Amino acid sequence: MKKQLIISIGREYGSRGHQIGEKLAAKLGIDLYDRNLLDEVAVQNGADAKELSKYDEKPRRFFSSRTVRGYSNSPAVNVAELQFALLKSKAADGDSFVVIGRCSDEIFKGIADCVSIFITADPMDKLARIMVHRQFNQKEAEKAIARHDKNRAAYHDYFCKKPWGKANTYDLCVNMSKMGVDGTVDFLFNYVNAIMNK
């Protein structure tokens, strides 16, 4: 790919946003960053990736954390900011990539070669996905979806000016239930190419 391209994907829990991002990155021939970003962060900072993963995309604990002179005592905030810095460094180097979550819609806002996408799905599709994937009953799946989406919103909204999951925050919002995973990937591939070739 000659031109730099950054694709930011926000997603609801159970919407298969990671799977869609993975397939889209493969189809475009560019890297995908999600939890694997923590491996690089760990190497750069002499940390344990497993330990860092405990705080990945987690909201800050309001009553037990504070910031003094620009430094936070919250592990969740520190892990997030290390990831943001690494993503910005990759963008500054001219790399092209797909990034799942990590406030990337805000980090790269205003960059001409960034496309921000939000993936949703019909409630029954999300329930079915979580029930099979996590081997949950319907009630457990409903609770998991509500908990994960609440945490994602809290994490996102702590760092970002615009709220998580709202249509006007993204370039494009897609309900994957309408086209399935592969159909959604094909649609996004064509959408991104149309933008890049305009």
Per-residue pLDDT of the chain (198 residues; tens, 9 = 90+): 568 999 999 999 999 999 999 999 999 999 999 999 999 999 998 888 888 888 888 876 544 444 434 445 688 888 999 999 999 999 999 999 999 999 999 999 888 789 999 999 999 999 999 999 999 999 999 999 999 999 999 999 999 999 999 999 999 999 999 999 999 999 999 999 998 887
- In this prediction, residue 144 carries a pLDDT of 98
Is pTM, for the whole model, over 0.85? yes
Question: Strands, E, within 6-129: which ranges?
Answer: 6-11, 31-33, 67-68, 71-72, 97-100, 114-120
Instruction: Give the orientation angle of helix 37-45 with respect to helix 75-92, to 10 degrees.
Output: 100
Intra-chain end-to-end CA distance of the chain, in Å: 15
